[in-house]
Amino acid sequence: MAISPYAAWMLAQEARSMLARLSRVRPFALIEPMVPAAALSPASQAAIEAHLAQGRRELRRLVDGYLAWLRGPAGRNSSAAEAQRRFTVLRLKFNAALAQFDLFNDVITQRSEHENGVWLSGLDVVSDDALRLPGKPYTAPPVICYLDRGPGAAIRRARTRLPGGGDNPVAIIRVPRERMVGSGIASSLVHEVGHQGAALLDLVNSLRPVLQGMQRGASGPPRVWRLWERWISEIVADFWSLARVGVVATLGLMGVVSLPRVFVFRLDTEDPHPMPWLRVKLSCAMGQLLYPHPQWRRLAELWESYYPLTGLPPALRRLMRQLQDSMPALARLLARHRPAALRGRALGLALGVQQRQPRRLALLFSLWRRAPQRLYDAPPSLAFAVIGQARADGRLDPEEESALLARLLTHWALRSTLDTGRRSAVCAVGS
């Protein structure tokens, strides 16, 4: 039965109403108030606005197409049920487009919060520095940060599929509020940066065949290497964090996974995260390989004192012992891995571990205390590594650390804003 004029009119009204609502969605640059130092980088802002503008154009095209179909012979001769089905699909796409807007709106709105907005801009700068590698083996996407509740961080990687379609134009890192502001923020932040970096280097896919080969070799029980393969995506991100910010990565990890005992010893082979107890021990093992120093043994013993193995089932203890025995081999495998994107360079060296040895970090802290401007001029990830090492050595108390990091985040945000302004002015003069 052909659609009635009343049904066609009602559906046309609904479609036109969607167009009216779509026209009310404005670019963030016109609606979000924030001080310049808290604003997104021009690259991030441009990428987000271009992505959303493309989504609005596509949605408008779909609605206009639906209205043309409804008015044309095909629509007039269709049933009301078919016209309603097509409209329902269209509305789902419309809601998905608004969900993308809300995703970025939640991130950007925090930039108007006093202090937090500027600190988030500073964290953007830290993330960008932690993601960039010498030799530029990839084009790093813009990274933006926002705060949320909960103890852990998370990332929505750039160039991954968004709800409703389209690739994410920027990397979005959720930072736990409870870590603002202390050096532990570096552990969570750079771990998530590591997920983005691992994707750009295709580390997980290049490591899996190596780990599968270990399962067939004589390097320990096959189950051990099957588990490491299962957990490799999170392990690589932990390795990245260690390589970029040093011991603070392990200290921050201990803070995140310090949970009731039942959770610390939970072995879930479906979870991409290693058992928390093993994860901290592996961080210490990787740290010892990258930065030989007594601090790793102290941290491992401290962790064991927090969560002794007494009372665990014998089979679980045996498996945990086997996993611990394989940790040095796994750490060497990661440090020496040479993914194609690095063009022959080993991962550990490419991440700059030679610049973050504990003695060098301690020396830099002493120098920077006498000449504070050098700290502000240093690469942000190196500054976090120096401050984290000083905290681990007992040379910096928590109150001084928090105040210093707040000043640094503000400085990095302001410097980035002024540098961008100067570049724009030079380009304007040159043109």
pLDDT tens digits for 105-137? 777 888 888 788 888 999 999 999 999 998 899
Quote the pLDDT of residue 46.
86
What's the whole-number mean pLDDT along residues 21-36? 71
Quote the pLDDT of residue 104.
80
The residue type found at 217 is: G
Q: Is the pLDDT of residue 399 over 80?
A: yes
Region at 141 (left for phi over 0; alpha for psi -120 to 50; beta for the rest): beta
Q: What is the mean pLDDT of the chain?
A: 89
Q: Is the pLDDT of residue 421 over 70?
A: no
Distance CA 337, CA 186 (A): 24
What's the whole-number mean pLDDT along residues 194-201? 96
Quote the pLDDT of residue 107.
79
> 113, 107 in Cβ contact below 8 A?
no
Lowest mean pLDDT among 337-341, 393-397, 400-404, 417-421: 417-421
Label the pairing between strands 171-176 and 143-148: parallel
> 138, 200 in Cβ contact below 8 A?
yes
Quote the pLDDT of residue 430.
55
Q: Is the pLDDT of residue 311 over 60?
A: yes
Quote the pLDDT of residue 113.
80
DSSP states along 359-410 = HHHHHHHHHHHHSTHHHHHS-HHHHHHHHHHHHHTTSS-HHHHHHHHHHHHH
Beta carbons within 10 angstroms of residue 146's beta carbon: 18
Q: Which residue is listed with tokens 């681990």?
A: 392
Quote the pLDDT of residue 1.
73
Radius of gyration of the chain (CA): 26
Distance CA 285, CA 410 (A): 34
Round to the nearest angstrom and report the end-to-end CA distance of the chain: 64
Positions of E strands within 70-142? none
Exposed/middle/buried for 207, CB within 10 Å: 0-12, 13-18, 19+?
buried
Quote the pLDDT of residue 246.
96
Beta carbons within 10 angstroms of residue 272's beta carbon: 11
Lowest mean pLDDT among 205-214, 331-340, 415-424: 415-424
Distance CA 6, CA 108 (A): 43
* Nearest Cα residue to 388 out of 405, 410, 403, 370: 405
Provide, rounded to the nearest whole percent, the portion of the chain with pLDDT above 90. 61
Beta carbons within 10 angstroms of residue 293's beta carbon: 17
Question: Which residues fall within 8 angstroms of residue 81, CB to CB, at 6 or more apart?
Answer: none
What's the whole-number mean pLDDT along residues 188-217? 94
Q: What's the pLDDT band for 424 if we cut at 50, 70, 90?
A: low
Quote the pLDDT of residue 237.
97
Quote the pLDDT of residue 65.
92
Lowest mean pLDDT among 86-100, 306-320, 377-391, 411-425: 411-425
